[in-house]
Each structure stands twice: as structure tokens, then as C-alpha cells.
Amino acid sequence: MQAAGGASLNGAGETADSDDHEDQRRPTAEARSRWRRPRLLLVAVALVGYVVDVSTKVLAVARLQDRPDVPVVGDLLVLHLVRNPGAAFSTGTEYTVVLSLISIAAVVAICVAALRVRSNAWGVALGVLLAGVAGNLTDRILRSPGPLRGHVIDFLMLPNWPVFNVADICINLAAALIIVLAFRGIRLDGTRVA
């Protein structure tokens, strides 16, 4: 039954209207899929990069310990095992604990950003970055001389360049992707800056 002006007396119309408004506020299955895809991509890329990094470091320690350099592509790429207590180019070797804490903060920041990511490109960039940071952080936590002071395993050597690892490749690749996304004006949510 309805009163003057079309208002429902039994409240049934009110429920239907509120249900319609709730349906409009709820994301559709397609929208939820668009939100999930970049996050799933981020997790998948991070896991693959992390597993490759950790696996290659385990192999490097097992196979290169107490061995001379192993040429892979002549002098262009050589396997050479190094334990690095510092940052890039072995700088800051006395600040290993600080570097570990910065890495932990970076992992947390990437995970927080992951909650807002709606762009596949940002999902890949953050996934690669997470793989690299987490890979080197794992060494700092688990390797000798102790937690937060562990030395990072590096084993890839190019001419006139410091020895590096897969995590370092991931971090540099992520930096390049993030710079490209920033220059193109693509935000985490996939929108573009006008």
C-alpha cells in the first residue's frame, strides 16, 4: 500500500530502494577482477623473482665456494662469489644493520602500496621491486655473521662493474619501470595525470 506522494506504508519499497543503492555501491565482478589482477600479478612476479634470486644464491655458494672465477661468456660475464656487507658498490659496510632496517621499511612500504595498486604495469614494477628488496633482505637476516648483519651473496661480474646478484637486477629493473610509469603519468590506480 502507498500513501500520498508514492511513499510506501509497509516499508517494502524502502528496502528495495536501499538494496538498489547497496548494489550500486558494491563493485561488480568485473570491477573486482580488475582490482585483483594487478595485485595477483604483483604477488606472482614477486614470488618468481624471489625464488630465482634465492635459488641462484644457494647455487652460487654451493658451487663457487673456494673456486676461481668461472667464465660464462668469456670475460664479459664471469661468476665470482662475494659476500657483501654493504650496499651497492660495497659502500656503507659499517651500516649493515641500518641497511637491513631500511630494507624492512621498504618491504612494508611496497606492501602498503600494493593495497592501492590498480594498474597491471604498477603491479609488475612493485612485484619486481619486492622480489629484489626481499631477496637481499633474506641474506641480511639469515646469513652470517648474524641477523640484520648478514652479508649479501653477489656472484655475477661484468667488466668494470661491481659484482651483483639477481635481486640487484630486480631492483634496477623496477627503478627503470617506475621512472617510465612516472614519466607517462600513470598512477598506482591506473589513472593518468592530466
Query: 168 an active-site residue?
Result: yes
Cα 189 to Cα 194: distance, rounded to the nearest angstrom: 14
Distances (CA, A) of 128 to 14, 42, 55, 94, 186: 50, 8, 16, 27, 17
Q: Out of 17, 69, 154, 189, which one is annotated catalytic?
A: 154
State how far the Cα of 120 lies from the Cα of 27, in Å rounded to an integer. Answer: 19
- Catalytic residue list contains 154: yes
**The C-alpha cell of 183 is what?**
614519466
**DSSP string of 46-115, one letter each residue:** HHHHHHHHHHHHHHHHHHHTT---EEEETTTEEEEEEEE-SSGGG--GGGHHHHHHHHHHHHHHHHHHHT
Q: Helix (H, G, I), strand (E, B), or coil: what is residue 152?
A: strand
Q: In angstroms, rounded to a whole number, what is the distance separating the alpha carbons of residues 133 and 115?
A: 18
The residue from 20, 69, 75, 168 that is catalytic is 168
- Of 107, 105, 84, give the one whose Cα is nearest residue 95: 84
The catalytic residue positions are 154, 168
